[in-house]
Amino acid sequence: MFSFLWDKKNITIFHSLDEYTQNLYKELASSENKYKQILLEFVNDYELGTAINDRIKKISLNKFI
């Protein structure tokens, strides 16, 4: 889903939450075109850091990357 993680195999650090969300939206839009589906997870603001960390852990455990 996140081609910037899968294709380049790196993690990008953003300077602000606005910058992060803008780049995340771009990646989601391009992923929809590339993979024809999107998996989203909506969480409360206070759960955002945990949700991101959990997603990175799941991605890093994927043997197909």
How far, in Å, CA of 34 to CA of 49, rounded?
27
Give 65's pLDDT tier (boundaries 50, 70, 90). Answer: very low
How far, in Å, CA of 33 to CA of 14, rounded?
24
Summarised one tens digit per residue, pLDDT across range 6-52 is 444 555 666 776 777 777 777 777 776 666 665 666 777 677 777 77
Residue 31: how many other CB atoms lie within 10 Å:
18
CA distances from 62 to 6, 8, 10 (A): 10, 15, 14
Model's pTM, two decimal places?
0.34
Summarised one tens digit per residue, pLDDT across range 39-48 is 666 777 677 7
